[in-house]
Amino acid sequence: MMRPYTYVFALLAPVASWAQPNLGAGSVNPVPGDQLEYSYGDFAQPGAGGANVTWDQTGLSTSNPNTFNYVTVASTSVAASFPQATVAQDEGSGDYLFYRATADGYSDDGFHLTTSGYTGTCSDPSLLVAYPLTYGGTFTDQSTCSVTDGNTTWARTTDVSGIADGWGDLQLSWGTVSNVLRVRNQRTMVDNQFSPATTTTFDDYFYYRPGVHGPVLVLERITIDFGGFILSDSSSSVIGAGAIGVEELLRHDIGMELWPNPATDRVEVTSGLAGGQAVVIDVLDLHGQVVRNHARNTRATGLQREVIDIAGLTAGVYLVRITDGTGALGMRRLVKH
C-alpha cells in the first residue's frame, strides 16, 4: 500500500527569521480537492533534533513521482463503512485510503482496496499527528481496527507514540523550507490473522510546515515480524517542488526576477548582488534535478543580468535558483513554452 500524504499551500510572505512553529487544528492535514506529488528514494539519516536546527537533505536523491488525489468520503462507493472519515485518498480502480481530521489530530481511519479485496475499518483510528503540537510536545494513542480479506476477518491494534523533537530549516535539493516542525511517530501494529500474530513497527520522521497540508519530507523505517521471520525496509518521500507554491515557502535571501516568463528559448535572470561574488544559477526540473547550470563572478555591486539558454528544454514548469558564495539564495518559477 502506498503511503498517502497531501498538501495545500497558503500564500506565506517570506521573512528573515521564524518563530517556533505550531501545528494547529487542520494545519497539516488534507481536505477534499487537494492533490500532491511525492518522489521516493533511499532512507536518509534524520540528524539531531533540537531548536532552530538546520537539516541538510540536499543530497537526497529521489525518483518515481506519484500524484495523489483527495476526494470527499461521500463520493466513494463505500462511504457508509467510514462514517467518521473526513477525506479519502483515491488511488484509482476503486481503491481508497480514509482519514479522520478532528480538533485533536489527524488519523488513519482505514482502507478499502477493491483490487485486492481487503478492507479495514477502525472503531478507534490510528493517530498520525496531534493538534495542537509544538516543539517538545508529545502524544500517544491506541487504535482498534478490523481487517477482512473477503474470507477471514481479524483484529488489528496499533500503539502510537509521537514527539515533536525539533524545529528549524529543512534544506532540500530545490531550496530551503523554513519554519519546519519535525515529528517522530513510532507505531507498533499487531495483526491477529495468524498465530503467532504479525507485528509491524513504523519509525517515521515527518517534517511539517504549518499551512502545508502534508509533510514536506518523510523518512520511514519499517520492520515486519512474521512469527520470528523478520523483514525490514526504509525509504524517503519528498514533496514535489513545482506544485507547492515554492516561491511562498522558500527562504529568499536574494531578490531576483525572470524575463520573459513564460519563455521559449532564452530567459534573462536579474538580481541584486554585491560585487566579487561567486554566483551559480541553476535551472531545476520539478523533481529537483539540475538541467542547466551557469557559474560566474559578479563585477560591480548592483543589478546583475545573466541570460540562460533554455531552447533545448522540453515545455513545462521549471525552477530557477541563484546562490552566491555566502550561501544566500533566491528562486523563481519559470514556464517554458
The CATH number for 257's domain is: 2.60.40.1930
**Structural domain boundaries enclosing 268:** 252-336
Same domain, 218 and 128: yes
Q: What is the mean pLDDT of residues 174-186?
A: 90
Pairing label, strands 198-208, 175-191: antiparallel
Residues 6+ apart with CB under 8 A from 49: 165, 166, 182, 184
What pLDDT shows up at residue 63?
A: 82
Same domain, 279 and 218: no
Same domain, 285 and 150: no
**Does a structural domain hold residue 4?**
no
Q: What is the mean pLDDT of residues 86-94?
A: 93
What pLDDT shows up at residue 5?
A: 32
Asked if 5 contacts 212 with a C-beta cutoff of 8 angstroms, the reply is no
**Does a structural domain hold residue 65?**
yes
Mean per-residue pLDDT of the chain: 85
**Does a structural domain hold residue 308?**
yes
Same domain, 28 and 70: yes
Choose the final residue of a domain: 240, 261, 279: 240
**Does a structural domain hold residue 247?**
no
**Could you report the per-residue pLDDT of 127-168, keeping only the tens digit for each?**
999 999 999 999 999 999 999 998 999 999 999 999 999 999
Please give the tally of structural domains in the chain.
Answer: 2
**Does a structural domain hold residue 6?**
no
Same domain, 230 and 291: no
**Does a structural domain hold residue 277?**
yes
Q: Which residues pair with 187 in a beta bridge?
A: 160, 202
CA gap 313, 318 in Å, rounded: 10
User: What is the DSSP-derived secondary structure letter of residue 135?
Assistant: T
Same domain, 161 and 40: yes
Greatest mean pLDDT range, 12-16, 197-201, 333-337: 197-201
CA gap 123, 121 in Å, rounded: 7
What pLDDT shows up at residue 77?
A: 92
Is residue 252 very low, low, confident or very high in pLDDT (cuts 50, 70, 90)? low
What proportion of the chain, given as a percentage, has pLDDT over 70?
A: 86
Same domain, 132 and 156: yes
Same domain, 206 and 326: no
Residues 6+ apart with CB under 8 A from 146: 120, 121, 122, 123, 153, 154, 155, 156
CA gap 97, 81 in Å, rounded: 12
What pLDDT shows up at residue 17?
A: 39
Amino acid at 60: L
What pLDDT shows up at residue 251?
A: 59
DSSP result, 142-205: EEEEEEE-SS-EEEEEEEEEEEEEEEEEEEETTEEEEEEEEEEEEEEEEE-SSSSPEEEEEEEE
DSSP result, 45-110: -----EEEEEEE-TT--EEEEEEEEEE-GGGSTTGGG-TT--EEEEEETTEEEEEEEETTEEEEEE
| pLDDT over 90 at 279, yes or no | no
Asked if 123 contacts 141 with a C-beta cutoff of 8 angstroms, the reply is no
Neighbours of 202 (CB within 10 A): 17
Same domain, 92 and 225: yes
| pLDDT over 60 at 226, yes or no | yes
Is residue 16 very low, low, confident or very high in pLDDT (cuts 50, 70, 90)? very low
Choose the final residue of a domain: 240, 269, 295: 240
Same domain, 225 and 329: no
**Does a structural domain hold residue 16?**
no
Q: Which residues pair with 119 in a beta bridge?
A: 112, 148
Same domain, 203 and 263: no
Rg (CA), the chain: 22
Same domain, 155 and 276: no
Choose the final residue of a domain: 215, 240, 265: 240
What pLDDT shows up at residue 66?
A: 85
**Does a structural domain hold residue 304?**
yes
Q: What is the mean pLDDT of residues 283-297?
A: 82
| pLDDT over 60 at 6, yes or no | no
